[in-house]
Structure 1
Amino acid sequence: MTAVRIPPVLRAQAGGAKELSASGGTVGEILSAVVEQHPGLREQIFATDGSLHRFVNVYLNGRDVRYEGELAAPVAEHDTVILLPAMAGGN
């Protein structure tokens, strides 16, 4: 199983979990499995067209998946996926 770390801001949609486990061969399969377990995460992770939402950063073993094949990035059994919502602010 692949570990999926959930940041505090998304934990309410994940039943309070800090970390979830999911099976799959790609980042897309892992995230789809997570959303199947916790449907409230869907709009936080995926855009309406099924791509990654532009306001979430996804890291696979510390590497940004946008540079590793996005949803098609291959995942091994003991890898770690980290979800980090983008933060914005300013004056």
Structure 2
Amino acid sequence: MPTIKIPPVLRSSTGGEREIAVDGESVREVLEALAARHPATRNQLFGEDGELNRYVNVYLNDEDVRVLKGLETPVAADDTVVILPAMAGGALAPHARH
């Protein structure tokens, strides 16, 4: 059963779980299974069009799924799917400025 690694920013939506094993044969099926189990993650992962939100990066065994077959990338039982929200910003925190 594939394992999804949950980033800290999504853990409040998964009851604090860091890793979740779900059924699925593609990245889409695995993420849909996560969203079915933890509905609060759906809007964080998917846009209204059913595709990944542009600020969400998903990796299958350290490979960005966008350079593979996207959400249709096949997933094996021993695979790991990692969700990484893109980081944004650029301004330093006030205490970090010199």
* TM-score (normalizing by structure 1): 0.97
Aligned partners of 2:78 and 2:15: how far apart in 1?
Answer: 23
Aligned to 2:9: 9
Aligned to 2:18: 18
Q: For structure 2, list consecutive stretches of 5 or more residues without a partner in the other structure.
A: 92-98
Aligned partners of 1:77 and 1:27: how far apart in 2?
Answer: 12
Tell me how far 1:90 sits from its aligned partner: 1.4
Q: Percent identity, aligned pairs only?
A: 52
Aligned to 1:85: 85
Q: For structure 1, list consecutive stretches of 5 or more residues without a partner in the other structure.
A: none
Aligned residue type for 2:72: A
Aligned partners of 1:66 and 1:4: how far apart in 2?
Answer: 17
Q: Max radius of gyration: which structure?
A: 2
- List aligned pairs for 1:29-48, cutoff 5 A: 29-48=29-48
Aligned residues: 91
Aligned partners of 1:66 and 1:86: how far apart in 2?
Answer: 14
Aligned partners of 1:14 and 1:79: how far apart in 2?
Answer: 20
- Over 6 Å off, 4+ runs: none
Q: Deviations over 1:18-72 (max 9, x none)?
A: 0001111100000000000000000111011000110100000000000111110
Secondary structure at the residue paired with 2:47?
Answer: coil
- Aligned-residue RMSD, C-alpha: 0.6
Aligned partners of 2:2 and 2:90: how far apart in 1?
Answer: 36
Tell me how far 1:7 sits from its aligned partner: 0.7
Secondary structure at the residue paired with 1:51?
Answer: coil
- List aligned pairs for 1:44-55, cutoff 5 A: 44-55=44-55
